[in-house]
Amino acid sequence: MAQNIINELGALAIGSRMRRLYDALSKDAARVYEDHELQFEIKYFTLFYLISKRKQIGIMDIAEELSLTHPAIIHLAKELEKKGYIESASAPGDSRKRMLQLSAKGKKSLPAFKKVWEKINTLNEQLFVQQHQLLQTLEAIEKTLEERSYYKRFQNDTAR
């Protein structure tokens, strides 16, 4: 790996390193989806996957399950609706509640997505699980931050 300031900064630039890795993975994943004639970006994956598993699910339930904000889910959902993969419907008994479900195009494309996801999963296991236990480390960090946020830790440490 070429030397650069982000590498020199080490732990101080952990967010930048994670962003750089995400950008590299996103770029190549976009190419994979394109090669399989799927108009899809990596940022849609968890939302699309969740909807495919739950058949029909409300925005608030999605936000809670994915630990994302309501506006973030709405933004991603609008983009996926524009691409034709999902659609919204009113909830039975409460027309104000918006439910998301796969569209006809989403259902038709699902087998192709599943094929791609199987290959991506195998590759990710080779890169991140078997070699470096990255997923377990990330899970441990997330749990630690759930117990006490990064901000609270910073505030407590700088108060000394």
Compute CA 33 distance to the chain's CA centroid, rounded to the nearest angstrom: 15
Q: What pLDDT is attached to residue 94?
A: 74
* Cα–Cα distance measured from residue 133 to residue 84, given in angstroms and rounded to the nearest whole number: 36
Query: For residue 69, what is the DSSP state?
Result: -
Structure tokens at 40: 């899809």
Instruction: Summarize pLDDT for 79-96 with one digit per residue, the tens.
Output: 999 999 999 988 787 777
Tell me the percentage of the chain whose pLDDT exceeds 90: 62
b/e 91-103 (16+ beta carbons within 10 angstroms → b): eeeeeeeebbbbb
Instruction: Summarize pLDDT for 82-134 with one digit per residue, the tens.
Output: 999 999 988 787 777 889 999 999 999 999 999 999 999 999 888 887 777 88
Q: What pLDDT is attached to residue 158?
A: 67
Q: What ranges do the domains of the chain cover?
A: 12-150
Q: What pLDDT is attached to residue 144?
A: 92
Q: Which residues pair with 89 in a beta bridge?
A: 99
Instruction: Answer for the pair 72, 63: CB distance below 8 angstroms, yes or no.
Output: yes
* Cα–Cα distance measured from residue 75 to residue 71, given in angstroms and rounded to the nearest whole number: 6
Q: Which residues pair with 101 in a beta bridge?
A: 56, 87
12-150 folds as Arc Repressor Mutant, subunit A (1.10.10)
Q: Which residues pair with 58 in a beta bridge?
A: 99
